[in-house]
């Protein structure tokens, strides 16, 4: 554990203290016990399994097979699963879909005074840009432009004493770009699945409920998460049947989203040849890209949105997560900020304190080309190293510790 960084006080402390004693072992820390169950190789293996389904683009057979696999895994962990069903209706396009490869600014470098040189951004819409023939064939099916019925899977850990209250821990399982979706968002999906495995293990109980959600249709406009909010927001805290002690939709206490967890290699910089001269592209412009290795300053970004109706609670939740990172995460620190945007926590943010964990600031750094694999054929398991995977695992340590505290986790012998 990282004992160097000072611990932060957070406003949730008043509800944590009664729930943090391990059964039969006074003074031990159940949060540390749970965090120690996270394993880098298991995390990598789960991401690798998800990449078997290609980019998992919504509305395709590969997407449906991935949902089936995710649900089977969650059931094997002892987590009670449920399918959320909704009808996806695409919005009319007003301009052609981006194909990627373009550079910001006329010279290809942009000029952000805050983040420096900008790299290429865009969405690859051409399946033929995938050089791997096997993966190209796997990703060949296109979703219907008319949309149609869709599904996504959730599973729930029922709280022992407060089953009517719930934290939502989520990621999106669909991808885009005709790669493998290893980082976007296999890294977040694997994180949520690993937390579901650990918190549903024998001997682990929580006072409050926790729902693990793997949204679909994130890439089309957060449609899966938005459908869940529309269907469930008015059912919160209603006992059904009355007197049963069962709450199909417990009252939401917090929503935590995970999206792109692994790549923090810094801002793009000009690429140099062996003689130290800039490498030029076919148009004679300097090629810029992030460094090949994870930067020493890499961190976990914890974001909330200041314009949300629940902004005050979300900010407190973000600081609680940062404090949990400082106490329980093994390697990378966390930074809390107000740049949450374009993520599945957005449909929730006016209803419940909502935050997003990710590798970079979504609205600024990722948008400035800090991740060259974003929505590209190169989002492949093989293009990440153990430092990258460790950043994702570090985010898992952060969320597991924070949610275990908030939900009142106990571990019996």
Pairing type for strands 148-157 and 208-215 reads antiparallel
Q: Is residue 3 part of a domain?
A: no
The better pLDDT of the pair 290, 172 is held by: 172
**What stretch of H or E contains 213?**
strand 208-215
> What letter would DSSP give residue 7?
P
Of all residues in the chain, what percent carry a pLDDT higher than 90?
77
- At 223 the pLDDT is 98
pLDDT, position 231: 98
Q: How many residues does the chain have?
A: 413
The boundaries of the domain holding residue 354 are 13-91+101-411
| Structural tokens at position 167 | 């934290």
Taking alpha carbons only, the member of 320, 331, 317 closest to residue 393 is 331
Measured between alpha carbons, how far is 194 from 1 in angstroms, rounded to an integer?
A: 19
Return d(Cα 405, Cα 392) in angstroms, integer: 20
Is 1 part of a structural domain of the chain? no
State the pLDDT at residue 339: 85
Per residue in 254-301, pLDDT (tens digit) is 999 999 999 999 998 888 889 989 898 888 888 888 899 999 999 999
Helical segments of 117-187, H only = 133-138
Domains in the chain, number: 1
The answer to whether position 2 is within a domain reads: no
* pLDDT of 149 above 80: yes
The reply to whether 96 falls in a domain is no
Q: Is it the case that residue 306 has pLDDT exceeding 50? A: yes
Q: Give the mean pLDDT of 326-335.
A: 97
Q: Establish if 68 belongs to a structural domain.
A: yes
- Cα 116 from Cα 364, distance rounded (Å): 11
Q: Work out the angle at residue 344's Cα, subtended by the Cα atoms of residues 340 and 349, and round it to the nearest 5 degrees.
A: 60
Q: Each residue of 208-240: pLDDT tens digit?
A: 999 999 999 999 999 999 999 999 999 999 999
Is the distance from CB of 112 to CB of 366 less than 8 angstroms?
no
Q: Is 317 left (phi over 0), alpha (psi -120 to 50) or beta?
A: alpha
Residue 286: the pLDDT is 85
Residues 6+ apart with CB under 8 A from 307: none
31 or 2: which carries more pLDDT confidence? 31
**pTM for the full predicted model:** 0.89
Q: How many angstroms separate the Cα of 166 from the Cα of each of 197, 252, 354, 395, 400?
A: 17, 5, 13, 21, 15
Q: Which residues contact 16 (CB under 8 A, 6 or more apart)?
A: 405, 406, 408
Q: For the chain, what is the radius of gyration of the CA atoms?
A: 21
Residue 27's pLDDT is what?
Answer: 54
**How far apart, in Å, do the first and last CA atoms of the chain sit?**
22
In the predicted model, what is the mean pLDDT of residues 301-318?
A: 97
Q: Which of 14-18, 338-342, 375-379 has the lowest mean pLDDT?
A: 14-18
Taking residues 93-120, report their average pLDDT: 45
Asked if residue 82 is part of any domain, the answer here is: yes
- Measured CA to CA, the distance from residue 146 to residue 89 in angstroms comes to 7
- Confirm whether 143 is domain-assigned: yes
In sequence order, the 6+-apart residues with CB closer than 8 A to the CB of 348 are 168, 225, 229, 252, 255, 354
Residue 224: the pLDDT is 98
Q: What is the mean pLDDT of residues 3-20?
A: 39
Cα 400 to Cα 402: distance, rounded to the nearest angstrom: 6
- How does the average pLDDT of the chain come out, rounded? 89
pLDDT of residue 209: 98
Please write the tens of the pLDDT for every residue from 346-400.
999 999 999 999 999 988 898 888 999 999 999 999 999 999 999 999 999 999 9
Q: What are 256's strand-pairing partners?
A: 169, 355
Predicted confidence at residue 372, as pLDDT, reads: 94
Peptide bond into 241 cis (omega under 30): yes
**Helix, coil or strand: residue 199:** helix
Whole-angstrom CA distances from 318 to 14, 77, 231, 250, 340 are 16, 28, 26, 22, 11
Whether the per-residue pLDDT at 1 is higher than 60: the answer is: no
Compute the average pLDDT of residues 329-344. Answer: 94
**What CA–CA distance (Å, rounded) separates 180 from 184?**
9
Whether 84 shows a pLDDT value over 80: the answer reads yes
The yes-or-no verdict on residue 140 having pLDDT over 70 is yes
Owner of token pair 């009808």: 87
Confidence tier at 12 by pLDDT (50, 70, 90):
very low
Per-residue pLDDT, 145: 95
**Does some domain include residue 187?**
yes
Per-residue confidence (pLDDT) for residue 117, from 0 to 100: 66
| pLDDT computed for residue 116 by the predictor | 59
- What pLDDT score does 26 carry? 41
Amino acid 3: pLDDT? 40
Residue 397: CATH number of its domain: 3.40.630.10
Three state DSSP letters for 316-335? HHHHHHHHHHHHHCCCCCEE
CA atoms within 13 A on the CB side of 150: 32
């Amino acid at each position: 554990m990282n004992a160097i960084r000072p611990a932060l006080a957070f406003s949730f402390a008043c509800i944590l203290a009664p729930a943090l004693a391990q059964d039969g072992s006074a003074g031990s820390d159940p949060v540390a016990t749970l965090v120690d169950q996270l394993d880098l190789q298991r995390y990598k293996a789960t991401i690798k399994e998800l990449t078997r389904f290609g980019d998992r683009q919504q509305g395709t057979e590969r997407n449906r097979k991935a949902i089936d696999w995710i649900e089977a895994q969650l059931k094997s962990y002892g987590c009670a699963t449920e399918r959320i069903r909704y009808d996806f209706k695409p919005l009319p396009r007003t301009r052609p879909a981006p194909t990627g490869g373009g550079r910001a600014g006329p010279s290809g470098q942009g000029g952000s005074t805050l983040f420096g040189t900008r790299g290429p951004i865009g969405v690859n819409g051409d399946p033929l840009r995938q050089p791997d023939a096997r993966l190209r064939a796997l990703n060949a099916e296109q979703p219907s432009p008319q949309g149609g019925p869709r599904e996504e899977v959730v599973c729930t850990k029922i709280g022992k004493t407060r089953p009517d209250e719930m934290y939502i821990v989520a990621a999106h399982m669909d991808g885009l770009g005709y790669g493998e979706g290893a980082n976007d968002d296999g890294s977040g999906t694997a994180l949520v699945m690993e937390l579901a495995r650990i918190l549903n293990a024998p001997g682990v109980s929580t006072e409050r409920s926790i729902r693990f959600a793997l949204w679909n249709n994130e890439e089309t406009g957060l449609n899966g998460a938005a459908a869940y909010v529309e269907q469930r927001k008015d059912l919160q805290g209603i006992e059904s049947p009355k007197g049963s002690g069962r709450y199909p939709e417990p009252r939401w206490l917090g929503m935590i989203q995970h999206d792109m967890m692994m790549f923090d290699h810094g801002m793009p910089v000009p690429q140099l040849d062996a003689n130290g001269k800039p490498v030029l592209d076919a148009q004679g412009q300097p090629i810029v890209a992030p460094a090949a290795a994870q930067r020493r300053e890499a961190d976990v970004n914890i974001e909330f949105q200041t314009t949300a109706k629940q902004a005050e609670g979300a900010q407190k939740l973000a600081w609680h997560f940062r404090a949990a990172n400082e106490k329980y995460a093994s390697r990378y620190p966390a930074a809390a900020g107000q740049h949450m945007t374009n993520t599945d926590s957005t449909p929730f943010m006016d209803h419940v304190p909502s935050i997003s964990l990710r590798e970079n600031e979504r609205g600024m750094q990722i948008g400035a080309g800090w991740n060259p694999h974003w929505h590209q054929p190169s989002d492949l398991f093989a293009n990440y190293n153990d430092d990258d995977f460790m950043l994702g695992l570090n985010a898992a340590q952060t969320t597991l510790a924070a949610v275990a505290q908030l939900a009142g986790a106990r571990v019996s012998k």
